[in-house]
């Protein structure tokens, strides 16, 4: 059974940093691209960043480029999102999501339970 | 960036009713359109892939259709457990994008 367990969210001041983690199990982690998708309170879904199975290719939404860094440790079956220079508008539930097919980035067939990031002074 | 516009934003429906949600893309995306269901306080769940392909484990009352710019999610014989927000998602062009969501309320 595929499981994605996100963690690392919390309350942080504007300008601060936070690192999210997503522990994966139930599939060959290194074979699949992974993404982070966020959802601001009461709002819709927004893709944030994606990384290939090997970790060689990474992509970012313009809204986070230069501030967020996606990475993965395939030996630990874990996905990360390092978030720096956080802004109030980054407040959201952050979901990790698995690509449907090996070798592609989208769509997403499994989602983590989400971890809440609150940016506020 | 491709913009996806869903309609309606909200719909109140009765059990056993047939529901249709539409998703319109700002430019042609072929069949690279997918649907997700998100129940309150839950993560999104994969519902339909590539416009009309079913997902294992998803009830057969859910179906999708369309291509190009106009897509439809249909729920036949709505059940109480279908109360949720529904999102379309395009993977044709980077950056990928989602519709704003359609919330279904069961009367």
Residue A112's closest chain B neighbor by CA?
B43
SS3 sequence of A5-52: EEECCEEECCCCCEEEEEEEECCCHHHCCEEEEEECCCCCEEEEEEEC
Q: What is the pLDDT of residues A51-110, one digit of tens each?
A: 999 999 999 999 999 999 999 999 999 999 999 999 999 999 999 999 999 989 999 999
Identify all chain A residues contacting B55, using CB atoms and an 8 Å cutoff. Answer: 109
Closest-CA distance, B14 to chain A, in angstroms, reads 24
pLDDT computed for residue A103 by the predictor: 86
Mutate to test the interface with B, among A34, A59, A107, A115 (most CBs of B within 10 A): A107
Query: Residues B49-76: what's their mean pLDDT?
Result: 97
Query: Residues B12-41: what's their mean pLDDT?
Result: 97
Residue (of B39, B23, B13, B43) closest to B90 by Cα position: B23
d(Cα B6, Cα A34) in Å, to the nearest integer?
A: 26
Residue (of B104, B89, B76, B105) closest to B29 by Cα position: B89
pLDDT computed for residue A85 by the predictor: 98
pLDDT computed for residue B53 by the predictor: 98
Closest-CA distance, B104 to chain A, in angstroms, reads 14
How many residues does the structure list for chain B?
107
CB-CB under 8 Å, A45 with B101: yes
Among the partner-chain residues B43, B91, B99, the one whose CB lies closest to the CB of A107 is B91
User: Is the backbone peptide bond immediately before A107 cis, with ω within 30 degrees of 0?
Assistant: yes
pLDDT computed for residue A6 by the predictor: 97
Among the partner-chain residues A44, A61, A111, the one whose CB lies closest to the CB of B43 is A111
Q: What is the pLDDT of residues B1-11, one digit of tens each?
A: 999 999 999 99
d(Cα A74, Cα A60) in Å, to the nearest integer?
A: 20
pLDDT computed for residue B61 by the predictor: 97
Residue B88's closest chain A neighbor by CA?
A45
């Amino acid at each position: 059974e595929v499981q994605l367990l996100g963690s690392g969210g919390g309350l942080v001041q504007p300008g601060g940093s936070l690192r999210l983690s997503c522990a994966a199990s139930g599939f060959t982690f290194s074979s699949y691209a992974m993404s982070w998708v966020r959802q601001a309170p009461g709002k819709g879904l927004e893709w944030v960043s994606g990384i290939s199975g090997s970790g060689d290719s990474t992509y970012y939404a313009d809204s986070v480029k230069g501030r967020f860094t996606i990475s993965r440790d395939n030996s630990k079956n874990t996905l990360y999102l390092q978030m720096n220079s956080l802004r109030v508008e980054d407040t959201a539930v952050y979901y990790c999501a698995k690509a449907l097919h090996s070798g592609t980035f989208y769509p997403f067939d499994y989602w983590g339970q989400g971890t809440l990031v609150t940016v506020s002074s | 960036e491709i913009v996806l516009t869903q309609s309606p934003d909200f719909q109140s429906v009765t059990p056993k009713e047939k529901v249709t949600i539409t998703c319109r893309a700002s430019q042609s995306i072929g069949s690279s359109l997918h649907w997700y269901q998100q129940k309150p306080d839950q993560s999104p769940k994969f519902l339909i892939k590539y416009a009309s392909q079913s997902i294992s484990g998803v009830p057969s009352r859910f179906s999708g259709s369309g291509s190009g710019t106009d897509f439809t999610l249909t729920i036949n014989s709505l059940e109480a457990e279908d109360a949720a927000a529904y999102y379309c998602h395009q993977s044709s062009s980077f950056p990928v994008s989602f519709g704003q969501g359609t919330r279904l309320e069961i009367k």
